[in-house]
């Protein structure tokens, strides 16, 4: 049975929620990374991701400038790096190195892959729309990569206040 409540209270039930790392590279060659929690598959043919990214962020500016980015799935051992990427702004600092992340060249885009991530998806920008106060960025996957290490668990935001941790898949239960 349902009981009526306010939206904020009901939204506490969204956890755990996925978190990804989005990488970009400026036209001048400077790499950038940010953590994003508002992410979903938007299509499976072709495969596309939709990301909610603040329009004041450096990542948003770089995606508009270069029209490409990478969506990386961090594993549970990357919580410290992911928290750093999500709580520092990249306008004046090079977050990827400062976060302690290892970059790897992609094959289709200039944005770096994250060597330790479970998977990386190279994307080209399809469109940006703004249905509310946060732009939605849609990117088509043009190359995909997966970590060669078996058994890594995805990192999720498990509670309000950026509580990061691994979540088991149903096949592990």
Mean pLDDT of 45-69: 96
User: Can you give the pTM of this predicted structure?
Assistant: 0.92
* Residue 151 to residue 13: CA distance in whole angstroms: 27
- How many other CB atoms are there within 10 angstroms of residue 92's CB atom? 8
Q: What is the structure's pLDDT at 170?
A: 42
Average pLDDT across the chain, whole number: 92
Token pair, residue 115, equals 């060597």
Judged against a pLDDT cut of 90, whether residue 172 lies above it is answered with no
Comparison of pLDDT for 8 and 169, the residue scoring more: 8
Judged against a pLDDT cut of 90, whether residue 168 lies above it is answered with no
Q: Set out the domains of the chain in order of their start, with CATH numbers.
A: 19-172 (2.30.110.10)
The answer to whether the CB of 76 falls within 8 A of the CB of 149 is: no
Q: What is the structure's pLDDT at 93?
A: 86
* Residue 105 to residue 132: CA distance in whole angstroms: 34
Reduce the DSSP state of residue 35 to 3 states and report it: strand
**62 CA to centre of own chain:** 15
* Residue 109 to residue 145: CA distance in whole angstroms: 13
Q: What angle (nearest 5°) sits at the alpha carbon of residue 102, between those of residues 94 and 50? A: 75
Q: What is the DSSP letter of 103?
A: E
Q: Which long-range contacts (CB under 8 A, 24 or more apart) does 96-101 make?
A: 96/23, 96/31, 96/32, 96/33, 97/31, 99/33, 101/21, 101/33
What are the pLDDT digits (tens) for 82-116?
A: 999 998 888 888 899 999 999 999 999 999 999 99
């Amino acid at each position: 049975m349902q009981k009526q409540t306010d939206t904020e209270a009901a939204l506490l039930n969204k956890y755990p929620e996925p978190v990804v790392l989005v990488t970009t590279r400026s036209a001048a060659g400077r790499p950038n990374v940010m953590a994003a929690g508002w992410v979903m598959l938007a299509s499976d043919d072709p495969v596309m991701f939709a990301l909610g990214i603040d329009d004041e962020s450096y990542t948003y500016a770089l995606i508009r400038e270069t029209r490409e980015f990478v969506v990386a799935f961090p594993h549970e051992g990357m919580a410290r790096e992911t928290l750093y990427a999500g709580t520092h702004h990249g306008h004046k600092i090079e977050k990827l190195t400062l976060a302690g992340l290892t970059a790897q060249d992609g094959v289709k885009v200039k944005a770096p892959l994250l060597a330790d991530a479970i998977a990386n998806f190279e994307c080209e920008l399809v469109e940006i729309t703004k249905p509310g106060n946060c732009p939605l960025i849609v990117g088509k996957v043009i190359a995909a990569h997966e970590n060669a290490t078996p058994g890594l668990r995805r990192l999720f935001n498990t509670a309000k206040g950026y509580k990061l941790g691994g979540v088991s898949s149903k096949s592990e239960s």
